[in-house]
A and B are shown apart, each in its own frame.
Chain A
Amino acid sequence: MSEDDLFERIQSAGQEREDAIVSLRGMLLRGLSKSLNNRYGQPFFAEDIVQEALMKILDSLDQFEGRSKFTTWAMTIANRIGISALRRKYHQDVSMEAFRDNDGSRIEIAIAEESDGSALEDREALIAKLQLLIDSELSAKQRMAMRAFLAGYSTDGIAERTQSNRNAVYKLIHDARVKLREGLERSGITADYVSTIFA
Protein backbone atom coordinates (compact mmCIF):
# COMPACT_ATOMS: atom_id res chain seq x y z
CA MET A 1 0.00 0.00 0.00
CA SER A 2 1.55 3.30 -1.05
CA GLU A 3 1.46 6.60 0.83
CA ASP A 4 -1.20 7.98 -1.47
CA ASP A 5 -3.20 4.79 -1.17
CA LEU A 6 -3.26 4.97 2.59
CA PHE A 7 -4.59 8.53 2.69
CA GLU A 8 -7.18 7.81 0.02
CA ARG A 9 -8.31 4.58 1.62
CA ILE A 10 -8.68 6.18 5.03
CA GLN A 11 -11.01 8.67 3.42
CA SER A 12 -13.05 5.93 1.79
CA ALA A 13 -15.72 3.83 3.47
CA GLY A 14 -16.35 0.30 4.63
CA GLN A 15 -13.73 -2.43 4.80
CA GLU A 16 -11.20 -0.50 2.73
CA ARG A 17 -11.20 2.29 5.33
CA GLU A 18 -11.00 -0.18 8.21
CA ASP A 19 -8.02 -1.93 6.64
CA ALA A 20 -6.24 1.38 6.08
CA ILE A 21 -6.78 2.40 9.71
CA VAL A 22 -5.35 -0.93 10.85
CA SER A 23 -2.28 -0.31 8.66
CA LEU A 24 -1.83 3.21 10.01
CA ARG A 25 -2.30 2.02 13.57
CA GLY A 26 0.36 -0.66 13.12
CA MET A 27 2.79 1.83 11.67
CA LEU A 28 2.28 4.33 14.51
CA LEU A 29 2.63 1.56 17.08
CA ARG A 30 5.90 0.36 15.59
CA GLY A 31 7.37 3.85 15.20
CA LEU A 32 6.43 5.19 18.63
CA SER A 33 7.41 1.99 20.42
CA LYS A 34 10.88 2.43 18.96
CA SER A 35 11.22 6.16 19.58
CA LEU A 36 9.49 6.74 22.91
CA ASN A 37 10.09 3.65 25.01
CA ASN A 38 12.10 4.65 28.09
CA ARG A 39 12.45 8.24 26.89
CA TYR A 40 12.57 10.49 29.99
CA GLY A 41 13.08 7.29 31.96
CA GLN A 42 9.38 6.53 31.70
CA PRO A 43 7.63 3.36 30.55
CA PHE A 44 5.65 4.00 27.40
CA PHE A 45 2.18 2.55 26.97
CA ALA A 46 2.07 2.68 23.20
CA GLU A 47 -1.37 1.15 22.77
CA ASP A 48 -3.11 3.92 24.71
CA ILE A 49 -1.18 6.70 23.01
CA VAL A 50 -1.71 5.31 19.52
CA GLN A 51 -5.43 5.01 20.16
CA GLU A 52 -5.60 8.66 21.22
CA ALA A 53 -3.42 9.69 18.29
CA LEU A 54 -5.52 7.77 15.79
CA MET A 55 -8.65 9.57 16.94
CA LYS A 56 -6.96 12.95 16.57
CA ILE A 57 -5.54 12.06 13.15
CA LEU A 58 -8.89 10.85 11.85
CA ASP A 59 -10.58 13.97 13.19
CA SER A 60 -7.98 16.17 11.50
CA LEU A 61 -7.79 14.61 8.03
CA ASP A 62 -9.13 17.81 6.47
CA GLN A 63 -6.03 19.61 7.78
CA PHE A 64 -3.61 17.38 5.88
CA GLU A 65 -2.33 19.57 3.07
CA GLY A 66 0.16 17.18 1.49
CA ARG A 67 3.21 19.26 2.45
CA SER A 68 4.80 16.03 3.69
CA LYS A 69 3.90 12.39 3.21
CA PHE A 70 0.69 11.42 4.96
CA THR A 71 2.47 8.97 7.24
CA THR A 72 5.02 11.65 8.22
CA TRP A 73 2.19 14.05 9.07
CA ALA A 74 0.36 11.39 11.05
CA MET A 75 3.49 10.31 12.92
CA THR A 76 4.21 13.95 13.83
CA ILE A 77 0.80 14.20 15.52
CA ALA A 78 1.20 10.87 17.30
CA ASN A 79 4.73 11.72 18.40
CA ARG A 80 3.54 15.01 19.94
CA ILE A 81 0.82 13.22 21.91
CA GLY A 82 3.24 10.52 23.06
CA ILE A 83 6.11 12.77 24.08
CA SER A 84 3.76 15.17 25.88
CA ALA A 85 2.33 12.29 27.92
CA LEU A 86 5.81 11.11 28.87
CA ARG A 87 6.89 14.60 29.89
CA ARG A 88 3.84 15.01 32.11
CA LYS A 89 4.73 11.78 33.92
CA TYR A 90 8.37 12.77 34.17
CA HIS A 91 7.57 16.16 35.67
CA GLN A 92 5.60 14.52 38.48
CA ASP A 93 8.93 13.33 39.88
CA VAL A 94 10.87 16.60 39.49
CA SER A 95 11.25 18.91 42.49
CA MET A 96 8.92 21.90 42.59
CA GLU A 97 11.55 24.06 44.27
CA ALA A 98 12.21 26.03 41.08
CA PHE A 99 8.66 27.37 41.11
CA ARG A 100 8.70 28.63 44.69
CA ASP A 101 9.18 32.39 44.57
CA ASN A 102 9.79 33.06 48.29
CA ASP A 103 13.44 33.77 47.42
CA GLY A 104 12.59 36.15 44.58
CA SER A 105 13.29 33.40 42.03
CA ARG A 106 16.98 33.80 42.76
CA ILE A 107 19.52 31.73 40.88
CA GLU A 108 22.59 31.33 43.04
CA ILE A 109 25.89 30.15 41.65
CA ALA A 110 28.16 28.57 44.24
CA ILE A 111 30.38 25.86 42.88
CA ALA A 112 32.84 23.82 44.90
CA GLU A 113 36.26 24.76 43.60
CA GLU A 114 39.02 22.24 43.14
CA SER A 115 41.48 24.25 41.11
CA ASP A 116 44.32 26.43 42.34
CA GLY A 117 46.03 29.73 41.61
CA SER A 118 45.04 31.86 38.66
CA ALA A 119 42.41 29.44 37.36
CA LEU A 120 40.55 29.73 40.64
CA GLU A 121 40.64 33.53 40.48
CA ASP A 122 39.45 33.49 36.87
CA ARG A 123 36.62 31.15 37.75
CA GLU A 124 35.56 33.27 40.69
CA ALA A 125 35.58 36.36 38.47
CA LEU A 126 33.43 34.61 35.87
CA ILE A 127 30.97 33.38 38.47
CA ALA A 128 30.74 36.86 40.01
CA LYS A 129 30.07 38.38 36.59
CA LEU A 130 27.45 35.79 35.70
CA GLN A 131 25.76 36.21 39.08
CA LEU A 132 25.64 39.97 38.54
CA LEU A 133 24.11 39.54 35.10
CA ILE A 134 21.49 37.11 36.40
CA ASP A 135 20.54 39.45 39.23
CA SER A 136 20.56 42.67 37.22
CA GLU A 137 19.60 41.74 33.65
CA LEU A 138 17.01 38.99 34.02
CA SER A 139 13.43 39.57 35.11
CA ALA A 140 11.90 37.47 37.88
CA LYS A 141 9.89 35.54 35.28
CA GLN A 142 13.01 34.85 33.24
CA ARG A 143 14.87 33.65 36.34
CA MET A 144 12.02 31.37 37.35
CA ALA A 145 11.73 29.87 33.86
CA MET A 146 15.49 29.46 33.61
CA ARG A 147 15.90 27.76 36.97
CA ALA A 148 12.97 25.43 36.29
CA PHE A 149 14.59 24.54 32.99
CA LEU A 150 17.92 23.90 34.69
CA ALA A 151 16.11 21.79 37.30
CA GLY A 152 14.95 19.45 34.54
CA TYR A 153 11.61 20.82 33.40
CA SER A 154 10.89 21.03 29.69
CA THR A 155 9.42 24.24 28.34
CA ASP A 156 5.96 22.71 28.09
CA GLY A 157 6.29 21.42 31.64
CA ILE A 158 7.11 24.92 32.85
CA ALA A 159 4.20 26.29 30.84
CA GLU A 160 1.82 23.84 32.48
CA ARG A 161 3.02 24.73 35.98
CA THR A 162 2.82 28.46 35.38
CA GLN A 163 -0.43 28.52 33.36
CA SER A 164 1.49 29.84 30.39
CA ASN A 165 2.24 28.36 26.99
CA ARG A 166 5.29 26.71 25.48
CA ASN A 167 6.03 29.58 23.12
CA ALA A 168 6.01 32.17 25.90
CA VAL A 169 8.21 30.07 28.17
CA TYR A 170 10.63 29.40 25.34
CA LYS A 171 10.88 33.14 24.67
CA LEU A 172 11.54 33.90 28.36
CA ILE A 173 14.40 31.40 28.45
CA HIS A 174 15.78 32.29 25.06
CA ASP A 175 15.80 36.03 25.75
CA ALA A 176 17.51 35.35 29.08
CA ARG A 177 20.18 33.29 27.32
CA VAL A 178 20.83 36.08 24.82
CA LYS A 179 21.09 38.66 27.62
CA LEU A 180 23.62 36.53 29.49
CA ARG A 181 25.70 35.88 26.38
CA GLU A 182 25.75 39.55 25.42
CA GLY A 183 26.60 40.57 28.97
CA LEU A 184 29.45 38.10 29.20
CA GLU A 185 30.80 39.09 25.80
CA ARG A 186 30.66 42.78 26.73
CA SER A 187 33.02 41.87 29.54
CA GLY A 188 35.32 40.07 27.15
CA ILE A 189 34.25 36.62 28.34
CA THR A 190 33.94 34.22 25.43
CA ALA A 191 33.04 30.54 25.19
CA ASP A 192 36.69 29.73 24.43
CA TYR A 193 37.82 31.61 27.51
CA VAL A 194 35.36 29.71 29.70
CA SER A 195 36.53 26.42 28.23
CA THR A 196 40.10 27.38 29.06
CA ILE A 197 39.54 28.24 32.69
CA PHE A 198 37.41 25.16 33.29
CA ALA A 199 39.68 22.79 31.36
Chain B
Amino acid sequence: MRLDSRQFSELIKLSFTAVKSDTLGCDGCYEMMDQFAQANLDRVELSDAMRLVRTHIEQCKCCRDEYQSLLTALREVA
Protein backbone atom coordinates (compact mmCIF):
# COMPACT_ATOMS: atom_id res chain seq x y z
CA MET B 1 0.00 0.00 0.00
CA ARG B 2 1.39 3.35 -1.00
CA LEU B 3 0.82 6.16 1.49
CA ASP B 4 -0.57 9.46 0.32
CA SER B 5 0.64 12.71 1.88
CA ARG B 6 -2.11 12.74 4.51
CA GLN B 7 -1.28 9.19 5.58
CA PHE B 8 2.42 10.00 5.65
CA SER B 9 1.78 13.00 7.91
CA GLU B 10 -0.37 10.83 10.15
CA LEU B 11 2.37 8.19 10.35
CA ILE B 12 4.93 10.81 11.35
CA LYS B 13 2.57 12.20 13.97
CA LEU B 14 1.77 8.73 15.32
CA SER B 15 5.46 7.93 15.58
CA PHE B 16 6.55 11.03 17.45
CA THR B 17 3.61 11.04 19.85
CA ALA B 18 4.09 7.42 20.95
CA VAL B 19 5.00 6.96 24.61
CA LYS B 20 6.10 3.75 26.29
CA SER B 21 4.21 4.55 29.47
CA ASP B 22 0.81 3.49 28.12
CA THR B 23 0.36 0.25 30.01
CA LEU B 24 -3.42 0.16 30.29
CA GLY B 25 -4.76 -1.00 26.91
CA CYS B 26 -8.22 -0.48 25.48
CA ASP B 27 -10.04 -2.94 27.73
CA GLY B 28 -8.61 -1.41 30.88
CA CYS B 29 -9.47 2.03 29.61
CA TYR B 30 -13.09 1.09 28.98
CA GLU B 31 -13.36 -0.49 32.43
CA MET B 32 -12.57 2.88 33.99
CA MET B 33 -13.95 5.26 31.38
CA ASP B 34 -17.05 6.11 33.42
CA GLN B 35 -14.91 6.98 36.44
CA PHE B 36 -12.57 9.05 34.30
CA ALA B 37 -15.47 10.94 32.74
CA GLN B 38 -16.98 11.51 36.17
CA ALA B 39 -13.70 12.84 37.54
CA ASN B 40 -13.41 15.24 34.64
CA LEU B 41 -17.01 16.41 34.89
CA ASP B 42 -16.63 16.93 38.64
CA ARG B 43 -13.22 18.57 38.11
CA VAL B 44 -11.54 16.50 40.80
CA GLU B 45 -7.83 15.72 40.90
CA LEU B 46 -6.99 12.55 39.00
CA SER B 47 -5.79 9.52 40.93
CA ASP B 48 -2.86 7.46 39.65
CA ALA B 49 -5.30 5.01 38.06
CA MET B 50 -7.13 7.83 36.29
CA ARG B 51 -3.83 9.20 35.00
CA LEU B 52 -3.26 5.85 33.32
CA VAL B 53 -6.63 6.25 31.63
CA ARG B 54 -5.68 9.74 30.51
CA THR B 55 -2.40 8.50 29.05
CA HIS B 56 -4.16 5.75 27.13
CA ILE B 57 -6.80 8.14 25.79
CA GLU B 58 -4.05 10.47 24.61
CA GLN B 59 -2.38 7.56 22.80
CA CYS B 60 -5.40 5.70 21.38
CA LYS B 61 -7.54 7.42 18.75
CA CYS B 62 -10.28 4.81 19.08
CA CYS B 63 -10.69 5.29 22.82
CA ARG B 64 -10.24 9.06 22.47
CA ASP B 65 -13.13 9.28 20.00
CA GLU B 66 -15.27 7.17 22.28
CA TYR B 67 -14.43 9.26 25.31
CA GLN B 68 -15.12 12.54 23.52
CA SER B 69 -18.47 11.19 22.39
CA LEU B 70 -19.26 10.12 25.95
CA LEU B 71 -18.40 13.54 27.34
CA THR B 72 -20.59 15.24 24.75
CA ALA B 73 -23.51 12.99 25.68
CA LEU B 74 -23.04 13.51 29.41
CA ARG B 75 -22.79 17.29 29.05
CA GLU B 76 -25.98 17.27 27.01
CA VAL B 77 -27.94 15.66 29.84
CA ALA B 78 -26.20 17.38 32.77
Enumerate chain A interface residues (CB-CB to B < 8 A): 27, 30-32, 34-36, 39, 67-69, 71-73, 75-76, 78-80, 82-83, 97-98, 103, 106-112, 130, 146-147, 150-151, 154-156, 166-167, 170-171, 173-174, 177-178, 180-181, 184, 190-191, 194, 198
Contact = CB atoms under 8 A, between A and B. Distances in A.
Given A34-B72, A177-B14, A181-B15, A75 B7 contact: no
A111 B8 contact: yes
Interface of B: 1-5, 7-12, 14-20, 22, 25-27, 30, 33-35, 37-38, 41, 59-62, 65-66, 69-70, 72-74, 76-77
A35 B69 contact: yes
Contacts of A32: 73
Chain B contact residues: helix, strand, loop or mixed: helix
B34 A109 contact: no
Given A75-B74, A80-B66, 9 more contacts: A34-B73, A109-B3, A110-B2, A110-B3, A111-B5, A112-B5, A154-B65, A166-B26, A180-B15
3 tightest CB-CB pairs across the interface, nearest first?
A31-B73, A177-B18, A68-B38
B34 A68 contact: yes
Nearest to A112: B5
Contact of B1 (A76, A80, A106, A194): A106
A41 to B, nearest CB: 13
Contact of B70 (A35, A107, A171, A190): A35
Given A170-B25, A170-B26, A178-B18, A31 B74 contact: yes
A180 to B, nearest CB: 4
A7 B29 CA distance: 24
Contacts of B14: 173, 177, 180
A76 B60 contact: no
B26 to A, nearest CB: 5
Contacts of A191: 16
B18 A174 contact: yes
A170 B34 contact: no
Contacts of A67: 34-35, 38
Given A80-B30, A109-B8, A178-B20, A69 B38 contact: yes
Contacts of B69: 35-36, 39, 79, 82-83
Contacts of B74: 31, 71-72, 75
A110 B4 CA distance: 7
